[in-house]
Amino acid sequence: TIIVKDRAINKNREIWYLIYITSYIKATKIQVKSILNTLKILRNKDILV
């Protein structure tokens, strides 16, 4: 039973790692999008000026 418990813990850890990685990637994508949008706004302002 101890081995089964260890396996279950390892599976849970893998799942948590996957969730953490996917959420981290999503957050970085959102940050990149916002940075690109701000750059576009700055470029547009420069063109207007």
Mean pLDDT of 11-35: 93
Mean pLDDT of 13-20: 92
Mean pLDDT of 26-46: 90
Query: What's the pLDDT score for residue 5?
Result: 80
Query: What's the pLDDT score for residue 10?
Result: 83
Distances 38 to 24, 33, 49 between C-alpha atoms, Å = 21, 9, 16
Query: What's the pLDDT score for residue 1?
Result: 61
Question: Does this model's pTM top 0.75?
Answer: no
Distances 1 to 4, 7, 11, 13, 29 between C-alpha atoms, Å = 5, 10, 15, 18, 42
Query: What's the pLDDT score for residue 44?
Result: 83
Query: What's the pLDDT score for residue 48?
Result: 57
